[in-house]
Chain A
Amino acid sequence: MSEALIALHNITFAYPGASRPVFQDFNFQLLPGHHIGLIGPNGCGKTTLLHLIMGLLRPQAGRIVIFGEEVNKEKDFVRVRQKVGLLFQNADDQLFCPTVLEDVAFGPLNQGKSPALAVQIARETMDRLGLTGFEDRVTYKLSGGEKKLVSLATVLAMQPQLLLLDEPTTGLDEHTKHRLIHILKNLEISYMIVSHEHDFLNHTVKECCRVHGHCCQPLPHRAGEEPVSTCKKTVSAPGGEY
């Protein structure tokens, strides 16, 4: 069986000072080429899960394996972040350069690309997202939906091998939503989407999981499709092969 892109083994995580952990003995995996939708009520830990994967939060116990390598230290996560793109739930957190072009080019520059190449990549990414002509717009004066699209551009410009999207559709109009669906379908990488919009998930992912404190429970997403039961398996054979 192919190796999981992301595998969380027996993760326990609680926010400092919180009475109850968000995750306790949590198991999860994402296989190559898979597109997963994460659903669950507000506050169940979807955002926390993505931040754990990116190393922005550290679990109190458990192992995280990404691209087949165990990640523990900041140094490991620095490498992970070169390959995994995270779209933040709140676009205001993501944008910080004064102009759109500079913000989109920020990632490629950090990857060591030359300014000319970074600008070229930034422009191409923006064109792909229908953001042509936004180069010199001021990031904090964009509308909510525009900010979301620019945020997505900043992530895609780093040409990630895996994409984590935290509620990407909030603030997008129907037309833009459809463009986003189109873009995601044409990406040849795995991705996970946190979303409350079943319609959007129907178009973009084949499996959905409900996030719980212990696991991600797979859901029958479309009628007639057999759900992939990762939850039960991980509970019965933690850390085993799938």
Chain B
Amino acid sequence: MHRLDPRGKIGVAGLFAVLIATAQTYTTILAGLALSLVFLALAGLPLRKVVARLLVVNSFIFFLWLVLPLTYPGDVVWELGPLSATRQGLLFTGLITLKSNAIIIILIALVATVPVITLGQALQNLRLPDKLCHLLLFTYRYLYVFEEEYRRLVQAMKIRGFQPRTNLHTYRSYAYLAAMLLVRSYDRADRVFQAMLCRGFHGRFYSLRTFYWQRRDGTFLAAALLAGAVLFCLEWLKPSLG
């Protein structure tokens, strides 16, 4: 799975994300979810990490459960004082939950396994706009800068015996930390860019990596397309048959 050409993986992930996002029936989405679990199994990722990531996503979805069933118009199935949940609302929220999880799992299995730099290069290779790819690469690069500056500042505070307490000194120190973090990260990003200019950077990244499309990539793509076709039939052809 990890040796597959990243371009193929990105393409397949994109295809299924679109299919699942536009699907409206439980059958299709459950099939999509099953498929995403297959990808996940193939990727062989540590389960604990996957669950941690899913929890983050589902904590957002939790808020949907608080609001959507109560506000969606339809047959009331459950009432508590002025609040009433509708059957359609519950079904709809369930649909969204399954959709989101299926798409996230597919992204975790297919895209998150590609290093960000390779991802940027693969996207560039897939003829996505340069600006978009640079945005991705720079965001990644500067996130690291940000984290590094943070670590240094915290270290500088620690070695001088700083211990967080509930007092003004602590709050002021944290305010300084936040401010310094912003200023220093900005400065550093500036200098990194200057260094790039010094080395002849003119807005284009050249990649040392050449991507090779191999037989297994073809097989993977063919299998994925087939599965995609099944999903498509489930969703869009079934009504006309029945």
**Chain B: which residue is nearest A89 at the CB level?**
B191
Are B198 and A56 in contact, CB atoms less than 8 angstroms apart? Answer: yes
Which B residues are in CB contact (< 8 Å) with A98? 115, 117
Which B residues are in CB contact (< 8 Å) with A78? 197, 200, 202
Asked whether any CB of chain A lies closer than 8 Å to the CB of B196, the reply is: yes
Are B197 and A115 in contact, CB atoms less than 8 angstroms apart? Answer: no
Which of B173-181, B204-212, B218-226 makes up part of the contact surface?
A: B204-212
Asked whether any CB of chain A lies closer than 8 Å to the CB of B199, the reply is: yes
Asked whether any CB of chain B lies closer than 8 Å to the CB of A15, the reply is: no
Are B208 and A111 in contact, CB atoms less than 8 angstroms apart? Answer: no
Q: A107-B200, A110-B201, A140-B148 are in contact. Are A115 and B195 (CB under 8 A)?
A: no
Q: A78-B202, A119-B208 are in contact. Are A96 and B196 (CB under 8 A)?
A: yes
User: What is the number of contacts between chain A and chain B, taking CB atoms within 8 Å?
Assistant: 65
Which A residues are in CB contact (< 8 Å) with B188? 92-93
Interface centre among A51, A88, A93, A115 (most CB of B within 10 A): A93
Which A residues are in CB contact (< 8 Å) with B126? none
Interface residues on chain A, size class: 20 to 34
Asked whether any CB of chain B lies closer than 8 Å to the CB of A81, the reply is: yes
B166 to chain A, nearest CB (A): 35
B164 to chain A, nearest CB (A): 27
Asked whether any CB of chain B lies closer than 8 Å to the CB of A176, the reply is: no
CA distance A106 to B195 in the complex (A): 11
Are B191 and A93 in contact, CB atoms less than 8 angstroms apart? Answer: yes
Q: A56-B194, A56-B197 are in contact. Are A110 and B208 (CB under 8 A)?
A: no
**Chain B: which residue is nearest A115 at the CB level?**
B208
B151 to chain A, nearest CB (A): 11
CA distance A105 to B197 in the complex (A): 14
**Chain A: which residue is nearest B195 at the CB level?**
A94
8 A-B contacts, Cβ less than 8 Å apart? A56-B194, A90-B191, A96-B141, A105-B208, A106-B199, A110-B200, A115-B210, A140-B148
B-contacting residues of A (Cβ < 8 Å)? 51, 54, 56, 78, 81-82, 85-86, 88, 90, 92-94, 96-98, 101-102, 105-107, 109-111, 115, 118-119, 140, 154-155, 158
A-contacting residues of B (Cβ < 8 Å)? 115, 117, 141, 144, 148, 188, 191-192, 194-202, 204, 206-208, 210
